[in-house]
Chain A
Amino acid sequence: QSALTQPASVSGSPGQSITISCTGTSSDVGGYNYVSWYQQHPGKAPKLMIYEVTNRPSGVFNRFSGSKSGNTASLTISGLQAEDEADYYCSSYTSSSTLLYVFGTGTKVTVL
């Protein structure tokens, strides 16, 4: 089972918008609206930021938004802030194996 593909790094200046892509297949990202995004600061457990492609859990700022087109999902951070500097992982339900679930390769977001 291959991991979903994300860019290794993305950077932006405070106040700018950045977008992180997450590419899978028709057996995962493209086949279901079950894409989630997680933020992970160093030494901490990941935190759920987006679920079901576009939904934000309570407490997550609306600067974070998600979308999907075909086999690629995206996370956009608008009005980038210093505290957004972290690693971000996408994930998806998958029907292609016994696994149920697969993560992306991860993207390091740097605030310049």
Chain B
Amino acid sequence: QLQLQESGPVLVKPSETLSLTCAVSGGSISSSSYYWGWIRQPPGKGLEWIGSVYYSGSTYYNPSLKRRVTISVDTSNNQFSLELRSVTVADTAVYYCARLDGGGGWATDYWGQGTLVTVSS
């Protein structure tokens, strides 16, 4: 059974960089047709797709966040990462990592449990 687990600081200061890693177990991050993504959900609000990465390193970003986001993949450690620069309080959210099945209708079929990251001084 595939499992995804987010890790990283839960408190980030304004203007600094939010960094999260998603460890994938029970399957290979290098499997073809699967993309690996980050999604966030501000408290009490809806889901927002941040971006995704393929095992080859190809990336796809939400245009509204593109200038501040980098998503990278580490196939040797079966994990992928998110960097969000110059954060503000508006970036406070639960951050989920997830698998996007490009060969299965583009459904997000596996999710991490999510981690609440708070931006505050």
Question: In the bound complex, how far is the Cα of B108 from the Cα of A92, in angstroms?
Answer: 10
Q: A105 contacts B105, CB within 8 Å?
A: no
For chain A, the count of residues having a C-beta within 8 Å of the partner chain is 30
Given contacts A89-B46, A98-B60, A99-B49, contact A48 B105 (CB under 8 A): no
Contacts of B104 in A (CB 8 A): 51-52
Question: In the bound complex, how far is the Cα of B107 from the Cα of A57, in angstroms?
Answer: 10
B112 at the interface (CB under 8 A from A): yes
Contacts of B113 in A (CB 8 A): 45
In A56-70, the 8 Å CB interface with B consists of: 57
Q: A34 contacts B47, CB within 8 Å?
A: no
Closest residue of B by beta carbon distance from A35: B105
Question: In the bound complex, how far is the Cα of B100 from the Cα of A45, in angstroms?
Answer: 15
Q: B52 contacts A100, CB within 8 Å?
A: yes
Contact of A38 among B37, B108, B112 (CB under 8 A): B108
Q: A45 contacts B64, CB within 8 Å?
A: no
Question: In the bound complex, how far is the Cα of B35 from the Cα of A99, in angstroms?
Answer: 12
Given contacts A45-B111, A103-B46, contact A55 B63 (CB under 8 A): no
Q: A36 contacts B61, CB within 8 Å?
A: no
Question: In the bound complex, how far is the Cα of B65 from the Cα of A97, in angstroms?
Answer: 12
Given contacts A33-B105, A36-B106, A101-B52, contact A45 B62 (CB under 8 A): no
Question: In the bound complex, how far is the Cα of B63 from the Cα of A17, in angstroms?
Answer: 37
Contact of B111 among A46, A98, A101, A106 (CB under 8 A): A46
Q: B108 contacts A100, CB within 8 Å?
A: no
**23 residue pairs bridging A and B, Cβ less than 8 Å apart:** A1-B63, A32-B106, A33-B105, A34-B105, A34-B107, A36-B105, A36-B108, A48-B107, A51-B104, A52-B104, A52-B105, A55-B105, A57-B109, A89-B47, A91-B49, A91-B107, A98-B63, A100-B100, A101-B37, A101-B49, A101-B52, A101-B108, A106-B46
